[in-house]
Structure 1
Amino acid sequence: MGAGHGSFVRSIESQVSAGHHAYAGPLALRPPPRDQRRDSAPGEANRFSNRGYYGSLNHNVKATYVLHLGWFIGNPADALEQLGYQAESGPWRNFYLTGAQELRNGVQKLPTPDTASPDTVKAMDLDLFFDYLAMRLKGPEVADKHITLNLEFTDLNQKYVLEMVNGVLNHTEGLQSNQADATITLTRDTLNKIMLKQTTLKDAEGSGEIKVQGEQGKLEELMSYMDSFDFWFNIVTP
């Protein structure tokens, strides 16, 4: 570091003496009044290496002040941790501290709870179940595809029509479509087994638990468009 630049840095550090006239918020600093503010000497400020290409006097003074008298050191994990310590709200404190933990250690792949447990799947009525499928549909990928299926549940004496069109999955109870790609007859218990991966569509068809009239592969095609979601996901990192 040249003598000129060294003098410039020392002139910045000398301005910290005015720090008691300023207020440091979490990420900002209110400068002292103009009559109490110090500027760098003209000779130092005019050097090429001390010009704004490398920053600015204003920001450098703030950074030096915060370094000595504040808690923010430019490390986002430490910043989030300090914000968490100062947050009165429990949820906000959790957000900040979880962000700090992620930046330091990454997303921890811990054991994942089974959110689609047998009890959960069985507790859904069919309307809620089809809403669940609609939420999992990879909409942008199927925007130009069209599938219509008639479903008959022999144990519940219920009929539905499912239509995947314009990237969404709609269902209507009590109707059947004359233009369906296939009509599928099954029980609710068989549907549960397929969703819980206790059996496959192919095996269920082979055993007679599912009967398909029309295009055989349309139900399997529809299920292939379902997305799956990681339980552990990034909060602050891309």
Structure 2
Amino acid sequence: MEFLSQQHDLYAYLHDQTVRMLNRGMTGTEIAEEIVLPPALDHAWHARGYYGSVSHNVKAIYQRYMGWYDGNPAHLWAHPPVEAGRRYVEFMGGADAVVARARHSYAAGDFRWVAEVLDHVVFAQPEHEAARELLADTYEQLGYGCENGTWRSAYLAAAHELRHGAFGTPVATSPGMLAALSPEQVFDALAVRVDGPACWQERLTLDVRLTDTGQAFRLTLRNGVLSHTAVLPDTPADAVLHLPAAGLVAVATGATDPAALAAAGVRVEGDPAALGRLVGALEAPDPDFAIVTP
């Protein structure tokens, strides 16, 4: 019971104290810097930040209630990282000057500050080798000093990217995972892959009839938005797909070849090009995007 009681008190303390300080006008970053756990919780091994951290969780609690905006209008319309980086570096006297001063901060152990200023250099001049190497060294030091594994992994992954390039993510959507999704979840997964600007003018309706469950759905692509409903309108669709629920995997993975569709039990009635138009509106996720470089 003591274990459960301390776990309860840990989360309640983080929540309640964050909201208390929020009501004093403090931002999430300020609260995360000031909040300290009671000794009884701080010394409990199971309440330590081996996975998450007090700092991270406090900011999440703040964002739950206040969103991303911290009340400072200077942050309402800030420049994106590359443009901000160019301006910061110019104001600070150029990339070489920033790196030279950052070395002194590194030697003084102010790794948080080194990471902040060199991040601007790397986004402004990603080819600046001295900045990349010093920032990688800095992230390593921050990582080695982390108690919680998520921050440690983030810092060390950043150091690796700066030295060797992005290494991507091992996460992939397998056919087995797709097969475990409900039809509605499959349609939602397709909707977030629609390249909106590329199909602003596209108008497409597609009915999906699942032959083994009796379910039916209307998919509509309009104004760059793919939506679905289980209520079929009276208006005819551009095409109707007749298929078993398992055949949704073929649709979700972009199959348009008649042989592949037939193998999945998919029969297309109506405009045979409609499914291809839908698939053509989808953008494949990028598993190799960079984190600490432009």
TM bracket, shorter-chain basis: 0.5 to 0.7
Q: Which of 80, 94, 110 is residue 153 of structure 2 equivalent to? A: 94
Partner of 2:151: helix, strand, or coil? helix
Between the aligned partners of 2:266 and 2:292, the Cα distance in structure 1 is 45
Q: Tell me if structure 1 keeps the 8 A contact 2:186–2:248.
A: no
State the match for 1:233 in structure 2. Answer: 289
Between the aligned partners of 2:99 and 2:249, the Cα distance in structure 1 is 63
> Which one is further off, 180-189 or 120-129?
180-189
Q: CA deviation at 1:154?
A: 1.6
Q: CA deviation at 1:79?
A: 1.7
State the match for 1:123 in structure 2. Answer: 180
Match status 1:103 vs 2:159 = no
Residues 88-120 of structure 1 deviation map (CA, whole Å, 9 limit, x = unaligned): 44322222221111101112368x45x332321
Q: Which of 195, 199, 222 is residue 278 of structure 2 equivalent to? A: 222
Counterpart mapping for 1:71-220 below 5 A: 75-108=134-167, 112=170, 115-195=172-252, 200-203=256-259, 209-220=265-276
Between the aligned partners of 1:90 and 1:208, the Cα distance in structure 2 is 43
Between the aligned partners of 2:101 and 2:250, the Cα distance in structure 1 is 63
Residues 133-167 of structure 1 deviation map (CA, whole Å, 9 limit, x = unaligned): 11221122112211111221121111110001111
Letter in structure 1 aligned against 2:284 = S
Partner of 1:102: helix, strand, or coil? helix
Q: 1:96 to 1:185 in 2, by over 3 A?
A: same
TM-score, scaled relative to structure 2: 0.52
Higher strand share: 1
Larger Rg: 1
Q: CA deviation at 1:200?
A: 4.5
TM-score, scaled relative to structure 1: 0.62
Q: Tell me if structure 2 keeps the 8 A contact 1:159–1:176.
A: no
Letter in structure 1 aligned against 2:206 = L
Q: Tell me if structure 2 keeps the 8 A contact 1:161–1:177.
A: no
Structure 1 regions of 5+ residues with no counterpart? 1-52
Q: Tell me if structure 2 keeps the 8 A contact 1:138–1:226.
A: yes
Structure 2 regions of 5+ residues with no counterpart? 1-91, 115-130
How many residue pairs get aligned? The number is: 180
Q: 1:209 to 1:162 in 2, by over 3 A?
A: same
Higher helix share: 2
Percent of aligned pairs sharing the same letter: 34
Between the aligned partners of 2:104 and 2:260, the Cα distance in structure 1 is 71
- RMSD, matched Cα: 3.4
Between the aligned partners of 2:247 and 2:101, the Cα distance in structure 1 is 66
Partner of 1:169: helix, strand, or coil? strand
Between the aligned partners of 1:146 and 1:123, the Cα distance in structure 2 is 30
Q: 1:162 to 1:67 in 2, by over 3 A?
A: closer
Partner of 2:285: helix, strand, or coil? coil
